[in-house]
Amino acid sequence: MNDDPTAPILIVLASRNRKKRDEMARLVAPSWVSNPRLGRIRIETLEDHPGAPEVEEDAPTFVGNAIKKASETARFLARWVLADDSGLAVDALGGAPGVISARYAGVHGDDDANNRKLLEALSGIPDDRRGAAFICALALADPSGEVRLESQGACRGRIIHEERGPHGFGYDPLFLVPEYHRTFGELGPLVKHQLSHRARAFEHFRSGLERMIARGEFAGPSIAPLSG
């Protein structure tokens, strides 16, 4: 199979969350990494494919949800699709909110309500028992729906008692990074892109993706034309 080393490689991000989607797009082929193979990647999102179905995230694990979203969306679109599932696991809550992090308070994506519920659940819990981890799982499926690459990343921290910082989204203003004594909401995107669970998952993912490109696994019909 002949692979044109200059041909663009189209990957669809299976997310309708604009902030998450934008963060993922920056991390797939980051501007601070000079890599001609990764430089071939072109990103689309579900906004470019409004007919794509919503995939029910009913798997019991982050990995299971990422695989399900990537596989089902790829089969529907007949495109390469990258999906993630990520969330917060709090030690004192037995790993909750876990896979329901985005809908912890009942409405998907209501960050304010989710944060309020988390603070209520941790009311009275001392600082030394407020340990938590952000977790991210990634899955890349080919146009047939077969998952070809997986990656995971985690970042440990602590849940503070009130929101701090204007940056990020979700639980970021409550998640204190011990090394910096700041929340992700205070640290901003440049630091977050080096430390976060998603950044760490993508660090491993990019290595695997580069190997796939070098082997020509995106050649032929897998290379999609740029949409315009």
Query: Catalytic amino acids?
Result: 85
Amino acid at 53: P
Rounded Cα gap, residues 173 and 164, in angstroms: 5
- How far is the C-alpha of 111 from the C-alpha of 94, rounded, in Å? 21
| Strand-by-strand arrangement of the 175-177 sheet | 41-45, 9-13, 81-90, 131-141, 147-159, 175-177, 182-183
CB-neighbour burial class of residue 126 (10 A; exposed 0-12, middle 13-18, buried 19+): exposed
Cα(141)–Cα(73) distance, integer angstroms:
9
**Can you tell me the distance from the alpha carbon of 6 to that of 172, in angstroms, rounded to the nearest whole number?**
38
Contact predicate 13/24, CB 8 Å: yes
CA distance 160 to 14: 31
